[in-house]
Amino acid sequence: MTVNKRIRQARQALNMTQTDFSKAIYVSNGYTAEIENGHRVANDRIIHLISLTFGISEIWLKTGKGEMFQTSPIERKGRILSLFDELNPRFQEYALSVIDQLIKLQNDQKKQGQE
């Protein structure tokens, strides 16, 4: 299987449309379609963005070896909860406010993309 096909497989495993996937890594929907269809090479920058954004192994994307996900969504949630519990209440409030800001930023970006 090619890198391009593994990118499609990863997007489908995330249950994302090409549009949502593209927006998350800041590329056009057409660019993603060209990669998935094998008309464009997925360069190291794109592979790195996909890996960072979705927790997908760069090694798996490049070679097909190992597991697709570096950690499962359940493992990430468990890690977040564990780390959150280690914070004192003042820092917990700060962490929650940062998450609120990230969600607002994400929603603002979605709205801008839909206009």
53 shares a domain with 10: yes
pLDDT at 13: 94
17 shares a domain with 44: yes
Q: For residue 78, what pLDDT band results from cuts at 50, 70 and 90?
A: confident
pLDDT at 109: 85
The CATH number of whichever domain residue 41 belongs to comes to 1.10.260.40
Question: What percentage of the chain reaches a pLDDT higher than 70?
Answer: 98
pLDDT at 77: 82
Would you state the structure tokens that stand for residue 46, as one six-digit string?
A: 């794109």
**Is there a contact between 34 and 40 (Cβ–Cβ < 8 Å)?**
yes
104 within a domain of the structure (yes/no): yes
Question: What percentage of the chain reaches a pLDDT higher than 90?
Answer: 76
Where helices occur in 14-88 by DSSP H, the ranges are 18-24, 29-36, 44-54, 58-63, 73-86
Q: Which segment of 5-14, 30-39, 75-84 scores lowest on mean pLDDT?
A: 75-84
85 within a domain of the structure (yes/no): yes
68 within a domain of the structure (yes/no): no
22 within a domain of the structure (yes/no): yes
Domain span holding position 79: 73-114
Q: For residue 114, what pLDDT band results from cuts at 50, 70 and 90?
A: low
21 shares a domain with 46: yes
Between residues 13 and 77, the one the model is more confident about:
13
Mean pLDDT of 72-84: 81
9 shares a domain with 33: yes
**Is there a contact between 42 and 35 (Cβ–Cβ < 8 Å)?**
yes
49 pLDDT exceeds 60?
yes
